[in-house]
């Protein structure tokens, strides 16, 4: 069985680059059952992607649980 990818995996960067080029917003599932363990919901994912792709509007579903307060800080 293949290992799941984090949303900041560099193999996904060409897709993000196209989204940025065509002004396509990106929704990330961070929280709940976003991966095999809670590390897949870490707010660092959003801050890393926002830094690398400042032209993309990222939306976070499920509120980044269990790091709701941290994800709110990342939004600011």
pLDDT digits (tens, 9 = 90+) for 2-35: 888 999 999 999 999 999 999 999 999 887 777 8
- Report if residue 2 sits inside a domain: no
Backbone φ, ψ for residue 41 (5° rounding)? -110, 10
CB atoms within 10 A of CB 46: 21
- Model confidence at 55: pLDDT above 90: yes
**pTM above 0.95?**
no
* Neighbour-count burial of 39, counting CB atoms closer than 10 A to its CB (0-12 exposed, 13-18 middle, 19+ buried): exposed
- Report if residue 53 sits inside a domain: yes
- Report if residue 45 sits inside a domain: yes
How many domains is the chain built from? 1
Kindly report each contact of residues 21-25 with a partner whose C-beta sits within 8 Å and lies 24 or more positions away, as own/partner.
23/55, 24/56, 25/56, 25/57, 25/58, 25/59
What average pLDDT score do residues 50-65 get? 89
């Amino acid at each position: 069985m293949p290992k799941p990818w984090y949303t900041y995996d560099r193999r996904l960067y060409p897709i993000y680059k196209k989204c940025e080029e065509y002004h396509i917003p990106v929704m990330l599932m961070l929280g709940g059952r976003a991966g095999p363990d809670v590390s897949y919901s870490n707010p660092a994912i959003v801050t890393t992607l926002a830094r690398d792709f400042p032209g993309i509007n990222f939306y976070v579903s499920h509120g980044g649980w269990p790091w709701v307060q941290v994800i709110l800080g990342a939004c600011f």
